[in-house]
Chain A
């Protein structure tokens, strides 16, 4: 039985559909396209973030075991406070205790301050602002409430240890940043914040806390 009794007609149909199929392979943004020899592309070993059936929840990215020390961090280095597990609990008492006992082990040398500024620009600046006045990009565009100025908080009792505690566990609306900023980086960034406070304090006395922040 002849299915196509009309050669020209069906020829055109086939050509057009072939063209559509061929040209759609490469241009559909939702599809990665054809893969050549996927065995060489994808190994059998589990990659980071890949679904992992060995765990009940299939989560490939597991939180590290309690007490895990990251590569290059030694339990007896100055910034890990002779104790790889942070000793102060996430409570008001822990906050006060950290304020009393924790001292910044990293010197505020120009090189360290430069490093601190770099970390600050990545992790803090969106809310706290470049100058530390609590007017970062997401505060200025009205999306996030202002965290306030560092120097106001320093005037009411904020110190290095409390800053370290706050970065580790979060404080008020600020979330915990322990997963993003290492202990060493926390101290480096605290050096930079101290520097910002020093810079701002003489001028901050003239203006009231509420004047300069937009909105």
Chain B
């Protein structure tokens, strides 16, 4: 172990030295400029420009100093402070850019010359793209952990298959032997199966253990069979793989985006809509690299929309994304999201569970009739300041007095409420 450490140290030494050298090689004041420039860039420029050569709202700024009229710094300061003045002065390059971007005006920026210089320093020295490599390494073990249970099942299945195969072949071998013996008039051989003979002997002498074992196996089997039957038609725990690896944990948890931002129909409609891809693009026009999966999964949105992120253009051949439906309520039961969310003021998490912690969305509740009824019996209706119920509440008060009104008291467990 000790020698390995030593070897590692020797191996890594040159890298450490190089890293130290690189860090100190950059002039201190210059690096401060870049840091200040980065800050200013993120606040003032980043909503339209990238430091790479990628187009966002405006052009990508990689190598901008080389392509604008020289002296670049002077021209860029003029342009950034008041782009329209430069365009109106008849500057050929300014007019070309202005027309190329459909005459969208770059707003004048209230920055000083020095601030613009530090922004330009930042553009000339963009951060190295180390993120992507790190992320890929992180993502790999998570995927293999998910697969391990499948592998286990596969191996178990394989073992069983081989055991069956062995016993079948054994049987075939024995009967062939018998046939050969019959033909040649030889006496029938005593089938020798050492395993079986040993097991039989052992079972005869240890009847109690065998009986106990059988009871355990049978009762376990019966329980498993019972559970299996009770699980028919119940999708609790269903977490299908989606065509795009979308993580609610990142979007709703880490980024704290409201559920309704994407599922905007939930308050107005019977169904809570799956967002169309234009809603994805509200953010993913700018965010082209995912937190967990890098560019791979976001590229699938672009592919579906036939969108070219380099040129910021949409092609003519969009394809729908085939999301897999997770929550499947039987067709003979009526459920209305708006009624529960807008009128009943229920939280999304009441039925869908801690979605903000789920990477792959999982059905959290059984969604059985018993589960519905149970909630309707227990849940007190939020009648106060709820104009939907004002009139009904007056009527109900006559019957129930001051008792808290549950959903079942106003007919929430009548058959016709959900089955019609």
Instruction: Give residues in A with beta carbon < 8 Å to B.
Output: 1-6, 8-10, 13, 15-20, 22-27, 29-36, 40-43, 48-49, 51, 57-61, 91-92, 121-123, 125-126, 137-138, 141, 143-148, 156, 170, 172-177, 179-181, 209-210, 213, 215
Contact = CB atoms under 8 A, between A and B. Distances in A.
B63 interface: no
Given A18-B221, A179-B276, A141 B255 contact: yes
8 contacts: A17-B164, A22-B228, A29-B362, A143-B291, A148-B43, A172-B57, A175-B278, A176-B282
A6 B196 contact: yes
Given A58-B320, A175-B285, A126 B174 contact: no
A6 B156 contact: no
A156 B107 CA distance: 9
A173 B163 contact: no
Interface of B: 39-40, 42-44, 46-48, 56-57, 102-105, 107-108, 110, 153, 156-157, 160, 163-164, 167-168, 170-172, 174-175, 191, 193, 195-196, 199-200, 203, 217, 220-221, 224-225, 227-228, 231-235, 237-241, 254-258, 260-261, 264, 271, 273-274, 276, 278-279, 281-283, 285-287, 291, 318-320, 322-323, 325, 328, 330-332, 360, 362
Nearest to A60: B320
Nearest to A208: B110
A196 to B, nearest CB: 17
A125 B107 CA distance: 24
Contact of A35 (B57, B195, B233): B233
B41 to A, nearest CB: 9
A126 B278 contact: no
B203 A41 contact: no
Nearest to A127: B283
Nearest to B239: A29
The 5 lowest CB-CB distance pairs between A and B, nearest first, are A145-B46, A175-B282, A26-B231, A137-B256, A29-B239
A57 B228 contact: no
B81 to A, nearest CB: 13
Given A41-B330, A57-B320, A92 B104 contact: yes
A96 to B, nearest CB: 10
Contacts of A41: 233, 328, 330-332
Contacts of A5: 167, 170-171, 174, 191, 193, 196
A32 B325 CA distance: 10
Contacts of B196: 5-6, 8-9
B47 A172 contact: yes
Contacts of A32: 235, 238, 240, 328
B167 A6 contact: yes
A141 B225 contact: no
Contacts of B56: 173
A59 B318 CA distance: 10
Contact of B227 (A23, A126, A173): A23
B253 to A, nearest CB: 10
B279 A10 contact: no
Nearest to B250: A143
Contact of B170 (A6, A60, A146): A6
A23 B171 contact: no
Contact of B224 (A22, A146, A213): A22
A154 to B, nearest CB: 13
A5 B174 CA distance: 9
A26 B320 contact: no
Most B CB within 10 A of own CB, among A5, A35, A40, A48: A5
Given A43-B331, A175-B278, A33 B285 contact: no
B258 A121 contact: yes
A40 B328 CA distance: 12
Given A29-B360, A210-B43, 10 more contacts: A1-B172, A2-B171, A8-B199, A22-B225, A41-B332, A126-B258, A138-B283, A143-B287, A146-B42, A179-B264
Nearest to A91: B102
B233 A126 contact: no
A177 B286 CA distance: 16
Contacts of A30: 239-241
B103 A92 contact: yes
A18 B221 CA distance: 8
